[in-house]
Structure formats: C-alpha cells, structure tokens
Chains A and B, each alone.
Chain A
Amino acid sequence: MRLEIESIDIRDIRLSSKTHARGRVLNIHLEELEELILRDGRIKSVDIHVVYPGDRVRIMNLLDVVQPRCKIDQFEADFPGFVGRLRIAGSGRTRSLRGIALLVSNPCTKRKYSAILDMSGLAAELSRYGKMRNVSIAPYIADGIEERDFEDAVKIAGLRTAVYLAAAAEGHRPDEVEVYDLEISNLQRNSRLPRIAYYYQMYSPQHDHRGIPDPCFYGTHVRDFMPTIIHPNEVLDGGVVGHHTIRSLDTYTIQNHAVIKELYRRHGKDLIFAGVVFGVANIDPVIRKRKALMAANLIKNVLGADGVIITKIHGGMPHVDVALVGEECEKLGIKTAVYTQPLIGVGTLADTLLFNNEALNLVITVGATFERVKLPLEADGILGGTAKTKVFLADPIDQYAGDPMIDTEEMLIAGVHDHLGGANIIVKEY
C-alpha cells in the first residue's frame, strides 16, 4: 500500500470572496463554508473565526482539532465512513495543509469537560496549535436534536471543513511529498533487521458519554472490536479519527501519528516495520485477558514481530490493559516498550505504575497529563463558548472562561501532550 502526502506550508489565512490558496496563503470565503456546514440539518447555525498566534482569544469546548487534508486522486474518499463513502483509506495521493489547524468546538456540549486553547500566554506556548494560524468553527444545535447525535454532527462538520479547506489548495505546488509505502504481505523476510510491530490501543469505553461510544474508525465505534490488524496508512489517511473529546488526543495527532511515522522513517535502515494491531481497553478481566492473548498472538504469529511498541489511551484502566498486552507479548518472546502517562504528580515514578511485572522493563512516559497549570489571560474574545462557560477542575472549585486566571490540567489544553508519542516531553522526579 502506497500513500503520498503532499504538504503545503500555509503562511497565512485571509478572508476572501473565493476560497483558494495562492503563494502559501489560504483564502477563505466564510459564507460558502458556512453554507457547507449548515447542509447538516442537525446544525442550526455556526460561528466561524480565524485566529492567529498572539491573539488574546480563548477557544472553549474543543471537541476535535483536524489538519486540513483531502484526497487528490480519489473521489469521495476523504475520511471514509464519516465524510466520504466507505472504502479502505491509505493509498493514493493526499493533500495536506501544514502550519494551520481546524479547531472544532461544541458550544452546546453537556460533557463535564472539554479541551481549551488560548492563542496567547502559557497555553499558546505549550500547545503546538498555539503557534499555528487556525480556523475555529463552533456549530450550534438545531431544535429537537439529541445531544449525542449533535456531537456526531459537530465531528463531521470538522472533518468536512478540513476537506473543504485542503481542496481549496488545488493547483498549489507542494512544499514536500512524503511517501508511505509498505507491503506487509511481502515484507523483507530475509532481512536481518529486527521486525517491529505497533500495538495501537485505540479506545477505552470508560468515558463513554451517556453510555454511548464515540465513532472513531470508518464511521463506527470500536468498543466491541477484537484486536485487529490494519495497515499503518489507514491511520495516517483518515481511516481513524479522534474521539468526541480531547484528552491529549485528537484527529490532527492521529493524522500525524508519531510512532507510525517513526517506524516508517527507520524502516529498512534500523528495523522492519511489521505492521499495526489495534485494540480496545477492556473493563472486564476475562475479556481483557482474551483480547491480550489474541493481540500478542497476532503480533507474534501473524506479523512475525520481534518487538512491539505499545501505546495507550488516556486513563487508569487502559494502563492495566496495555500492561497485560505487554505481558502476553513478552511471554511469546516479543520484546516490548510500553507507554504510560503518570496519572499523579506526587511520589516517585515507580509509584505511578499500575503493573508490576519484571518482563515489562521498558516503560516510556509520554507526559503526566494531569499536571496542573495556571493560565492567565485577559481575553479579548472567547470562541466556542462564553465568558460564563464553566472550566472544569477535578477539585470542587467554580471557575469560568472569562476569569483573568484559570487553573487547569495540561490534558485539557489541546496540543500539549500526545499519547501517540509526538511530544518531546518526559516525566522526571523533581
């Protein structure tokens, strides 16, 4: 399977009477974009803004962040199952706009917490999106639409807008073309290089809002999936998207999946990239054991891997789950590197592990995502909410988006941490 990602470095975003890109400037016709978003009857109205680094603007209720991308050589093939028709993602040519992101807010959310982003101050410094020029959309719910159904509508509005923006750059010369070409069925069997697979814990049901799982894979949810082999290009090219909430993970991060890109980068030089198995965190111990056994078996006896990188989704229960996958892999002789996020800010690093198995002797810390930071901001504007939008804190404290200082956790600032390994952050004992 061969995927070419043609990237254009966008230097500026301007409003215009025609949506197009020229000279690395993206021009957007707001009314046309608004009309596109309002084609979904679940959406009554939408606020659209362009925000720049340094703006004293706070964006609330973020449900997703998306990199503008579209397929170049395939029709109705973008984000299959969400926007485009069902087909397997990951082959052909894709246009990608770098330096900008689409910020998708759900101002009507009833969830306890959503992510935020400030375009200036500490949040902007910490977040990769704080340094980009961004388009913010905030759709409002139409009468009679159910809460979860509306979340799907917001999600799809974001993906559709991302496609619309990238499509507008047709004819613009790319700044870089990356090729992701891997024939899993015909891998270099005779290579002496170690074969490395990737286990992608893609979902955890523990935060299912109203008990309903978020769709994130070809238009469906994966809560009940068995461990499944997929091609890494499917992940990079829109087969997988973020959940309906950002806990250090969003569609942008998945489109730029750091572990997959790193394994590609070193494929044929230091290692053979043996493929991807994705799985889901499980609450039930018997199901967890069965799925861990299946995952390890696929990695060993189908992909033939010598080693595996195991990433985890946010939360404590998924921590136990990745450990069991790791243990079963090690039992089969597959060497593991297991990712964790320390969930506490006190104690030693050893105190943060929810497993204790000597075989799991290589643990990677992607970041203590609950670390608290204070964000001072005299906001000129608040998007995706109002000055009275409540800002979540686990402590019993009431605070609002318009407060001159808010206290939050880094996992709720979009673009700071990255469960998929893309951030150059490590957790240290201080």
Chain B
Amino acid sequence: MAGKKLNVVHYLNQFFGQVGGEDKADVGFTVAEGSVGPGLALQKELGDRARVVATLICGDNFFAKNPEEAAKEGLRLIEPYRPDLFFAGPAFEAGRYGVSCGAICKAVGGKLGIPVITGMSEENPGMEMYRKDAFICKTGLSARDMLNSLQRMTKLAFRLVSGEKNMNLLSRENLPDPGEYGYFPRLILRNEYTGKTAAERSVDKLLAKINGEPFESEVMLPKREIVEPPSPIADLTQCEIALVSDGGLVPKGNPDGLSGRGNLRWTTYEIDDFLPEDFEPSDYEIAHTGYFPDEVLGNPSRLVPVDVMRDLLREGKIGKLHPTFFCTSGNATVSRRCAEMGDEIGAELMKRGVDAVIFTST
C-alpha cells in the first residue's frame, strides 16, 4: 500500500497497559504516546505501513461501571490523534475487558467511521454484545494466543483499509469473509457466490440425509422463547382496550416515514382524529408491501376495527377504547427488532393503564 502511514490508536486495560493488576482496576483513563505492552507486538505486525501513535488505557472496573459513558470519555481523549485505524485488546476470555473493548470500538467506529478491530474468545460476553459494532477476531482463551491474535487482527485491518471490493459478494461491498479472516460475523446477511447451484446442493444434501450420512443445513433452527399467555380478562365491561396493528395504516404522505418492508419504527395516532366515523378513504395509505391493500384503503376498519369497537362501547360491552392507536409495519422485519418494538409498545401501554390489546395483522 502506497501513501501516508496510517495512524493507529490502541486500547488496553490496566493490566495489559502496565498500570497494575486487579488492585488498579478502578483507575480511570490515561493516554500514553506510542505503543505499550502488547502494542509493541502490534507495532511489529503493522510494520512500516502504520504507526501506533497513542495507547488509551483504562481500569476494567472503572470502564465496566458505566461502559457507554466511559466509551464517550475514551473517544474524546483519542480524537486529537486522528486515527485511521483503531485496535482494542485483544481481551481473550476476560469479560469486563471484552465489554470495554466492544464499547470503545462501538463509540470510535460510530463517531469516526474508521475500522475498529478487537479480539475475543467465543465465550466472552462482549462478543454477543458488540459483534455488530466491531470486527471481533476470534482468539484463544488467554494471552498465550496474543501473537496469533494480533496477526489476525492486523491482517483483517489491512484488508479493511484496502477498500478492496469482495467480488464474491453480489453487493461487491468491502466486506472480508469471516471464515477466511477469522472474525465473528456481525449479524448481517449477504448473498455470496458459491460453487454449486442451490439445486445441486439440495440434491447432494438430501441424498446424504436419506443415506444417513452427515449433511449440513444452510440455516440452523432458531431458539425461540416461550411466551406465557396472560390470564383472561375477568370483566370486559370494566376493561380499557387498545388497538395495535402491524399493517402499516398511516396518514396520506406517511409523515412518520414507516418503511414498507424491513421497517424498524412504530408510531401512534389519536383515533378521534385519525379514524373518525366519517373517514375519507383518500386520507390514508399503507406502508407495507406484503399484502394487497385495496380492502383496507377502502375502509381502514378492515385493519383497525374501530367501527366494531365503537359499537361494543355503545352497547356497554367494553369499558373504554383507548384513544391512541399504536401503529407499525411488520413485513420482513428482523425478529430481534420486532421483540424490541413489542417491549417498547407494551411498556407504553402499561404506563397508560391499558388492560387489553387487540392486535391486528395482515
């Protein structure tokens, strides 16, 4: 690689930063010029293409007490060094250190937009917490694997800064192969070219399955949590019911910008304004590409049953219709985000004292 030497900043905990052992774990941030401890080996691996200009050091306990705040402080301290690359650790199996490395990588990568690389063992809790925010190289359990880990991290770093397109990906992004470069996948999925067509692969694997030979599914089954249903409503006439829907019913113009697919947001609309008895079909649109919306656009009560709820209210069969409609668009949204939105909407409904919810989908 030609051009200017890359500036590298390296993060270490108090132990590897040579401040001290567990007794110094409460010590806050210091910045050392140049490389420290494992940073010397890192510098050796980087060669003359990059220089460790500063080392940020912090005690494990100090960082772990409030990782996000600590990460912000750390970021402020290293910004003046204008790094092109950021390394943290490796943390191996050390939990607090792993979380610190992950948090500081997230802060630095998010703010400065530079490659952030750390290393952990698979069991390190920081791996699951920060795998989507940093390139986390796979390491052994202890510092015995230091040199090997640093080599892996360096190789990955140079691949990232090269800007080289991955021609094996349909999207051609600059994304190194996780297997080849030894890092934990970052919770994104990509289409990749492979030697055999799906038809060939499926016949090969099915024959292996039938013949009792080992075969590898291309997707492992998910682990799903079991949700206990709540107890039934004792008396509907005393009950306040809210309407929630993931059918993407929004005012014309979609002012809250819900996406028709892969949407990550939810919003609320006041029923009296949004869904009056004398509604105008032209006032609505559907931010959801997964179904044919003509029926709903003709009468939004087909999706959000305010008409029936008003009847039940008049007849005294329910206590109250909650005045706010909770709206999202659920179409190929990742289940993790669906669960989060469910928690957020659920918390808001609990705060408002709603007793029950009718959730309509499409």
Contact = CB atoms under 8 A, between A and B. Distances in A.
Nearest to B256: A396
Given A346-B187, A422-B197, A361 B217 contact: yes
A363 B219 contact: yes
A208 B292 contact: yes
B192 A426 contact: yes
A349 B334 CA distance: 11
Given A209-B292, A349-B219, A335 B189 contact: no
A394 B203 contact: no
Contact of A349 (B209, B218, B224, B289): B218
Nearest to B289: A394
B198 A364 contact: yes
B178 A429 contact: yes
A299 B87 CA distance: 56
Indicate the member of A306, A315, A394, A410 with the most B CB atoms within 10 Å.
A394
B187 A364 contact: no
A189 interface: no
B40 interface: no
B81 interface: no
A312 to B, nearest CB: 11
Interface string A165-195: 0000000000000000000000000000010
A335 B212 CA distance: 11
Interface string A365-378: 11110111100000
A388 B224 CA distance: 46
A350 interface: yes
B219 A421 contact: no
Contact of B335 (A196, A347, A361): A347
A356 B221 contact: yes
A418 to B, nearest CB: 7
Tell me whether chain B's interface is mostly helix, strand or loop, or mixed. loop
B190 interface: yes
Contacts of B291: 206
A163 to B, nearest CB: 27
Nearest to A195: B210
Given A196-B203, A428-B189, A344 B195 contact: no
Interface in A340-367: 340, 342-353, 356-358, 360-367
B189 A368 contact: yes
Nearest to A306: B210
A209 B292 CA distance: 7
Interface in A392-423: 394-396, 410, 416, 418, 420-423
Contacts, number: 217
B218 A426 contact: yes
A210 interface: yes
A270 interface: yes
Q: Which of B170, B199, B205, B333 has the most CB of A within 10 A?
A: B199
B257 interface: yes
A371 B206 contact: no
Contacts of A263: 203
Interface stretch (B92-100, B258-266, B273-281): B258-266
Chain A, interface size category, equals: 35 or more
Contacts of B203: 196, 259, 262-263, 266, 270-271, 309, 337
A230 interface: no
A396 B257 contact: yes
A424 B194 contact: yes
A87 B169 CA distance: 44
B332 interface: yes
Contacts of A428: 178, 185, 189-190, 192
B216 to A, nearest CB: 9
Contacts of A142: none
Given A262-B199, A351-B335, A363-B219, A430 B207 contact: no
A343 to B, nearest CB: 4
Contacts of A342: 189, 219
Candidate in B193, B219, B222, B224 with the most chain A CB atoms within 10 angstroms? B219
A316 interface: yes
Contacts of A39: none
A362 B211 CA distance: 14
Contacts of A206: 290-292
A425 B193 contact: yes
Given A206-B291, A427-B189, A339 B262 contact: no
B282 to A, nearest CB: 17
A112 B289 contact: yes
Given A112-B289, A194-B207, A395 B259 contact: yes
Contacts of A210: 292, 294
Contact of B190 (A196, A368, A423): A368
Nearest to B331: A316
B287 interface: yes
Contacts of A315: 290
Given A210-B294, A266-B203, A363-B218, A430 B198 contact: no
Listed residue (B186, B206, B287, B331) with the most chain A CB atoms within 10 angstroms of its CB: B206
B142 interface: no
Nearest to B263: A394
26 contacts: A207-B292, A258-B197, A262-B200, A308-B206, A316-B332, A335-B210, A337-B206, A337-B209, A347-B334, A350-B221, A353-B222, A365-B198, A365-B218, A365-B219, A366-B198, A421-B199, A422-B198, A423-B198, A424-B197, A425-B170, A425-B193, A425-B198, A426-B218, A427-B192, A427-B218, A428-B189
Q: What 4 A-B pairs have minimum CB-CB distances, sorted nearest first?
A: A421-B199, A429-B185, A394-B261, A258-B199
Interface of B: 169-172, 175, 177-178, 185-203, 205-207, 209-211, 215, 217-224, 254, 257-262, 287, 289-292, 294, 331-336
Given A259-B199, A430-B190, 9 more contacts: A211-B294, A349-B219, A351-B336, A367-B198, A373-B171, A416-B170, A423-B198, A428-B185, A429-B187
Interface of A: 112, 122, 126, 194, 196, 206-211, 258-259, 261-263, 266, 270-271, 306-309, 315-316, 335-337, 339-340, 342-353, 356-358, 360-368, 370-373, 394-396, 410, 416, 418, 420-430
